[in-house]
Amino acid sequence: MNMKIEKKCIMLALMVSALFIWGTAAFASEGGGHGAASTGKAMTKKEAIKAAVEGNSQFTSHHDLNYFEPYQSGQSPNLTVISCADSRVHTPLFGMDPHNNIFIIRNVGNQIRNSEGSVDYGVRHLPTKILLVMGHAGCGAVKAAMGDYSSETTGIKAELDTLIPVLAFDKGEGSFTERWNKNVERNVDYQVAYALQIYGDKIDHDEMAVVGAVYDFKDNYGKGRGTLVITNINGQSDPNKIMNDPLLKELSKSEIVKHVGSIAPAL
Ligand SMILES: [Zn+2]
């Protein structure tokens, strides 16, 4: 096997294997607003900053100097991830230490174009071999773009306007929730298609792969809450074809079945 492909396979295998173990974890409340992680308990401003500072102290007390030593002079992450900023979506879902491993860019609706320079940096300069576009169940940005957001701030409107092309693929069939769920996946497909446009040279030379996925903490895909469902590899969104993609060669059959899926037709 080509060494580059092999490295990409191993990396994705590690990522999804870790997910397989950790995949059922849910770290935040459903209700949104100002709930504390997992408990849903609302904090005051003072309590929130106190929790953040004390949480950092706990982190440093559990990590000695040797932990930080390997990346004092630079970073060498394996994944570039473009994720939604939603607080229910965080790196622990990968089950691996994100430090010096995950170059993550976040904005509302996990949109490459709204943070293209940052994604470029991860893909072209670090460079990581996997670009993971990660949507998520219950994405408020996708839901907002489906409705009237004219009263939002200029900044929010600008970051929702870029989702409108995704909705052109929504023919209005099914309930609002069904359409919303499918539009989350369509957005991932749309972002992957955009990545193919700007990183096609690197993909053609087998220097990287673009993987689209939905972090499903609502079990919309029927694979269990918290599962990362791969819905696209380098523009291929047919689950049967994704399952046979060489990129997943290091995964077991059961891992592939659990972590590959689709609820929306191809764009
Ligand atoms: Zn979102």
Domains recognised in the chain with CATH numbers: 3-34+74-259 (3.40.1050.10)
Report the separation in Å between the CA atom of 41 and the middle of ligand 1, taken as the mean of its atom positions. 21
pLDDT of the residue at 40: 72
Measured in Å, residue 128 CA sits from the centre of ligand 1 at 24
What is the SS3 assignment for 124? helix
Based on the number of CB atoms within 10 Å of its own CB, is 58 exposed (0-12), middle (13-18) or buried (19 or more)?
Answer: exposed
pLDDT of the residue at 38: 62
The C-alpha R_g of the chain, in whole angstroms, comes to 19
Distance 263 CA to ligand 1 centre (A): 17
* 129 CA → ligand 1 middle, Å: 24
pLDDT, one tens digit for every residue, the chain (267 residues):
454 544 555 455 545 544 443 333 322 333 334 445 566 789 999 999 999 999 999 999 999 999 999 999 999 999 999 999 999 999 999 999 999 999 999 999 999 999 999 999 999 999 999 999 999 999 999 999 999 999 999 999 999 999 999 999 999 999 999 999 999 999 999 999 999 999 999 999 999 999 999 999 999 999 999 999 999 999 999 999 999 999 999 999 999 999 999 998 888
> Ligand 1 center to residue 215 CA distance, Å?
10
Q: SS3 for 262?
A: coil
Cα-to-centroid distance, 64 and ligand 1 (Å): 35
Pairing of strands 227-233, 209-216: antiparallel
pLDDT of residue 13: 52
CA 86 to ligand 1 center in whole angstroms: 5
Q: How far away, in angstroms, is 151 Cα from ligand 1 center? A: 19
pLDDT at 37: 55
Residues, the chain: 267
- Strand 102-107 and strand 130-136: the pairing is unpaired
- The closest of 179, 172, 188, 178 to 229, measured between CA atoms, is 188
CA dist 200 and 209 (Å) reads 10
Q: Measured in angstroms, how far is the CA atom of residue 88 from the centroid of ligand 1? A: 9
Cα first-last separation, the chain: 32
Largest interatomic CA distance in the chain:
56
Neighbours of 28 (CB within 10 A): 18
